[in-house]
Amino acid sequence: MNRHNLRGLYAITPDDFMLPRLIALVKAALDGGVRLVQYRNKSVSADLRRVQAGALLSVCRVAGAKLIVNDDISLAVAINADGAHLGRDDFSCGSLLAAREALGPDRVLGVSCYNDMACAEAAVVAQADYLAVGSMFASTTKPQAVRASLDLVRAVRQRFDVPVCAIGGISLTNAPTVIDAGADMLAVISSLFDVMDIAEEARRFQSLFPTLTQTTSSTPRTKICLPAHKRPFPAASTRPSGPFARSVAPPVSLPGVKVLMFGMPMANATSTTWAPGGR
């Protein structure tokens, strides 16, 4: 039963310690019709995760989208997010049942099942709202992830009355085969956030679901001239330790270059200065 209407592109956020840039990336995806976002950041402190998750929740609320928190039930409940997604460390049925109880009946509970049908069974017993299967293909995010087959997607879809989310190395090229196998959702990171026009890429993914009602934001699209989270940062030892602290490297002159910062062109610029890791 798909009680939360879970279908279409599922945008998973990239690791990024700069909140304004992360917001710009997510807004661009929302402009392209994304209505399900997972906040996932394994590289920042718990304090900054709370700040980022809360800010993204506000952005998603405005767009009418759901925000799911990765691997942190307490954070999801604390900020009143729409749900949480759990992975390998929560496989026992008891742990999943405790997660379901903590979230309550109205929030979304998603569970990574990898290539394991027994995990899917435990998740269904715990009343999971969707089952994530994969990695379907080679993934740059998790190169060593176990691989799942299209046959497993078919088997999970046929056996359980729960939406199936395919994840891992999914692109516009291979997505149709996964959807044909029975996937209700496509969880994507790199193929969405590493492109020049995130909103347009999101629309292309959503168009693969012909029965999906596509709604887009009335606000102007967020243009990002480069995959923003790939821009150079300070070394890890100099990165900020608090939610709003930041470390700025020496400025780099870019003569004659007009830079887009978070989708906002610098007016009438013939040259500008940009500090890697700075705003």
Q: Does 92 qualify as catalytic in the annotation?
A: no
Give the span between the Cα atoms of 81 and 63, in whole angstroms.
14
Active-site residue, selected from the candidate residues 95, 142, 203, 204: 142
CA distances from 106 to 47, 135, 156 (A): 26, 28, 23
Active-site residue, selected from the candidate residues 21, 40, 107, 157: 40
Active-site residue, selected from the candidate residues 112, 135, 139, 191: 112
Q: Does 40 qualify as catalytic in the annotation?
A: yes
Q: Does 66 qualify as catalytic in the annotation?
A: no
Active site residues: 40, 112, 142
